[in-house]
Amino acid sequence: MIILRSIADTRAALDSWRRQGQTIALVPTMGYLHEGHMSLVDEAKKRADRVVVSIYVNPTQFGPNEDLDKYPRDFARDEACCKAHGVDAIFYPDNAVMYCPDHSCWVTEESLSQTMCGAARPGHFRGVTTVVLKLFNITRCDVAVFGRKDAQQALIICRMVRDLNVPVEIVVAPLVREPDGLAMSSRNKYLSDDERRRALSISAGLNQATALFAGGQRQAAALCDLVKTGIANAGGKIDYVVVMDRDSLRPLATVDRPAVLAVAAFFGKTRLIDNVFLD
Ligand code: AMP
């Protein structure tokens, strides 16, 4: 496994694989890897001859009062995880490699990113789409794998690739949970034991809502209320609980087409997101 710190080295290594006729899959991450990330790596291995994991805490997707400085980092541990999963290369750039001091070009998705995390975190998705397109251009990967944990992000990336004719196949892999139901996230590290226990109300609420939906409930408000009550009773601060059309991310009053029930909530200072699909 090679560690690539510059764009020139990355291009040289990946070009040499391409010259041998090998295909390349990219798994973009911000590091502090967990089993959710590694499930994307496993999926990537099935889709291409070589797997590259990028580890980069992208400053442009963080708001001024967010957790950029304290975002968890542990490169040695990430390196060991990647090696154990048969990753071929880690692209591990620093800010000077990724952004010129006078960087002034951005990719902006103008529809799907207006709602949910886009409404709560202005500028977040502009940072995400911009860095992801840069990673695609740096690696010229054939395939890129994203997680359904960030359902809105995955949808926005698919839209970017479609609308800008980016020659990369996007694969969206399932959400991976802890055994007790909590969606795996690097940010779970911030939770105290008590917050973590109370945060289980998110996945528990989504489970209950899924069961209610399976039992025939089609009113979005009833499904959302169930989730909101559980989180509020556990002392969480709700950012949003919504039922959206899964293609357009427009709110649904009645679940009469493929939908996503999505949550963002704070436990203490930690903002957690989670979702389930309603089919
Ligand atoms: P992050 O490092 O949080 O930016 O995430 C990098 C990639 O891993 C994104 O495509 C996420 O959607 C994905 N990911 C993070 N957590 C999970 C999870 N629990 N299950 C599946 N994919 C995940």
User: What is the chain's pLDDT, residue by residue, as a tens digit (279 residues)?
Assistant: 999 999 999 999 999 999 999 999 999 999 999 999 999 999 999 999 999 999 999 999 999 999 999 999 999 999 999 999 999 999 999 999 999 999 999 999 999 999 999 999 999 999 999 999 999 999 999 999 999 999 999 999 999 999 999 999 999 999 999 999 999 999 999 999 999 999 999 999 999 999 999 999 999 999 999 999 999 999 999 999 999 999 999 999 999 999 999 999 999 999 999 999 999
Q: How far is the CA of 37 from the centre of ligand 1 (A)?
A: 5
pLDDT of residue 91: 99
Compute, in angstroms, the gap from residue 20 CA to the centroid of ligand 1: 30
pLDDT of residue 269: 96
Model pTM greater than 0.95?
yes
The pLDDT of residue 176 is 98
Tell how far the Cα of 185 is from the centroid of ligand 1, in angstroms.
7
Rounded (10°) angle between helices 151-163 and 124-139? 60
Nearest residue by C-alpha to atom 10 in ligand 1 = 146
Torsion of CA 120, 123, 128, 129, to 10 degrees: 120
192 C-beta neighbours (distance < 10 Å), count? 11
pLDDT at 67: 93
Structure tokens belonging to residue 189 = 């590290």
Phi and psi of 46, rounded to 5°? -75, -20
Q: In ligand 1, which atom is closest to the CA atom of 186?
A: 3
Q: How close is the Cα of 122 to the center of ligand 1, in Å?
A: 20
Nearest CA to ligand 1 atom 11: 147
Cα–Cα distance list, 137 to 98, 102, 131, 144, 226 (Å): 12, 19, 10, 12, 43
| CB of 36 sitting under 6 A from ligand 1 | yes
Q: In a mutational test of the pocket of ligand 1, which residue from 61, 150, 182, 187 has the highest number of ligand atoms less than 8 Å from its CB?
A: 150
CA-closest candidate to residue 113, choices 69, 149, 66, 61: 61
* Catalytic positions, written as ranges: 37
Ligand 1 touching residue 188 (CB < 6 A): no
Q: Kindly state if the Cβ of 234 falls inside 6 Å of ligand 1.
A: no
- Ligand 1 centroid to Cα of residue 186, in Å, is 8
pLDDT at 14: 98
Ligand 1 atom index nearest CA of 153: 12
